[in-house]
Structures are given as structure tokens and as C-alpha cells.
Amino acid sequence: MTSTHTNKRNPNSRAILIVAIATAIDLLMSILMAHWSYSWFPVQASAAAPYVDQLFSIETGIGTFIFLGCTGVMGWVILFNRAPKYDEEDGDPIEGNIKLEIIWTIIPLLVVFAIAAYSIKVNETLSTLGPKQKYRLSDNPSAITSVDRTSIIGPIQVIARQWNWEFVYPDGVRSSELHLPVNQRVNLKLISEDVLHSFFVPAFRLKQDIIPGSVISYSLTPTREGRYRLRDAMFSGAYFSQNQTDVIVESEKSYSDWLTFSGEQPLQPGLNPSQPLYARRLEKGDKGWATVSPAPAPLVNDPGDPSASHEA
């Protein structure tokens, strides 16, 4: 037990100093990471985004503190507690420490409860998810009315297919891209006619699965003008990764101009990104593994602009 003796000779104050310095460094790093974490996200374009980024930042901070704390101790023992080559002795036979064990049960418990309580509050503030109503696939889902009284715009029908998107506005305008006015709460009716899909706009930090046989009412508030990616996030088969379109958040004026203008346009085939790939596959002799064929392009007033570049 030579090591214990050498350790005992050192005054306790040295140990305290080392721990204090290490904790300070750990704390500093955690704060830095918490700030840095904001830069890992796309731009914030909805009311939900600041909450998500803030929660993530808090957890990055706490997580960094725990991670560096634990791995710091591991690094310390790897550096300073290695057995010399021919040292066959055992280490200190410590079997446990009730006080420590209670501390490291209670503290994580309090931390996770605090995080959970705050998250529940955020959930309630955003309250994006409205009622989910079942219907028969043979019926017309647009007949299902679910008005979200807190929303100003909508309901806009969001129809997901294998593999394209279609948006139908209350006045009947149909579009391949989702236009929304900035800073107004909008209600969406999420509809799928085939398999599961998911409405995911990273810049909004929002995602909601779309379930065939149900109409899901979903509300959100865009807060920043721009063109953002809308991605299908629930695996939906062969051309799943092509199932993307854009959300265009614009001023109230350009939004209503767009609605009026589009209402005057004739119906024409909209975006159907998997179609050219599927056509090429057929040309090459339909090789590869089996897939259902893509749904035909929806007929829309605004076919969108697939070449426009998105911000996030």
C-alpha cells in the first residue's frame, strides 16, 4: 500500500486545489460548448426553433460537464494509476461509499426531473399537435373539419404520397411547394393516401408523422422569411430520399399576391422528383429490387421551382 502512504503525505489542500481547478475548467468548457451548440442547427425559422435550440444548448452544457467530469477522471487514472511493469500488487480495496452512491443517484434524478419539467412546459407552449381523426380511406379526407381556433391561416391540406407532396389551400389553390405567411399561426391537415410519411422542416425544428387512415391537425408559426427544405422523414420506400420539396415563408403581402396569382393559373403537373429516376430505371430494363411505381404528379396551379436553392 505504498501509494496510499504517499497520497496521505500530501496535504488535503492540494487535492482540493486540483479538484477546484478541474471543476472550473470543466465548467468553462461546458459553457463554451453550450454556446457553440447553437451553430450546429439550421437557421431558426419557426416559433419552436428557439425553444429547441435552447433546450439542446442546456443539455449540451450539462452533458459536457458530466462527460468531461467522468472522462477526466478516467484520463487521470490512466495517466497516474497505471501499475508499474512488475508490480503485481492489488489496488486500494475500496468496496464502496454509501454517501457517494446516494449523491450520484439523487443528483441525476433531480437533473432529469428539471429537464423533463421544463420540456413539458415547452410542449404546452408550442402545442403544435392537434387532434388525430380516423377516417376511411375511401372517404374524402378534406371533408373532415378540424379547426384550430388559435390559427389564423388554414387549414391547408398537406398531402404526402410515394413520392411527392401536394398542398391544397382553403380557396382551392393547389401547389407543389408550401407557401406560408411569416409570423402567423397556420393550421395544417396532414394526409397520406398510401404509407407513412413525415412532415419535417429542419429550419422549423418540427416533425410530424403522417398516417394513412387518419387526418392529423398540426399548427405552427413560421417566424423568418426564406426558402427551406421540407423532407419526408418517415421511411416510405424506394424513392424516399427524393421526397422533398420547399417551404416558402414570405411577407403577408407576397403571400396573398401569390395566392391570387396562382389561383389564376391553369392546373398542370407538379413536382414529382422520383419520376425521372423511375423512368431511367425502366429504360435500363427495370433492374433492381421490387418497388411500387411512383404516384403520378399531382395537378397543381403552382408547380414550384425545383432549381431554386434553399437556405436550410
Residues 52-111 that bind another protein (CB under 8 A): 52, 55-56, 59, 63, 66-67, 70-71, 73-74, 77-78, 81-83, 87-97, 100-101, 104-105, 108-109
C-beta of 162 vs 175, nearer to another protein: 162
Under the binding rule (CB under 8 A), the answer on residue 194 touching another protein is: yes
How are strands ordered across the β-sheet holding 186-192? Answer: 129-134, 214-220, 186-192, 153-161, 164-168, 174-175
Under the binding rule (CB under 8 A), the answer on residue 119 touching another protein is: yes
Under the binding rule (CB under 8 A), the answer on residue 36 touching another protein is: no
Under the binding rule (CB under 8 A), the answer on residue 271 touching another protein is: no
Binding segment toward another protein, per CB under 8 A, in 8-16, 133-141, 147-155, 249-257? 133-141
CA distance 224 to 120: 25
Under the binding rule (CB under 8 A), the answer on residue 226 touching another protein is: no
What number of chain residues touch another protein (CB under 8 A)? 98
**Residue 98 burial (C-beta neighbours within 10 Å; 0-12, 13-18, 19+):** exposed
Given 211, 249, 297, 300, the residue binding another protein (CB under 8 A): 211
Binding segment toward another protein, per CB under 8 A, in 168-176, 229-237, 261-269, 299-307? 229-237
Query: Quick one: how far is CA 59 from the chain centroid?
Result: 15
Classify the C-alpha dihedral 287-289-293-297 as positive or negative: negative
Strand segments (E) across 170-287: 174-175, 178-181, 186-192, 197-201, 206-210, 214-220, 226-232, 244-250, 268-269
Given 241, 251, 256, 260, the residue binding another protein (CB under 8 A): 241
Under the binding rule (CB under 8 A), the answer on residue 205 touching another protein is: yes
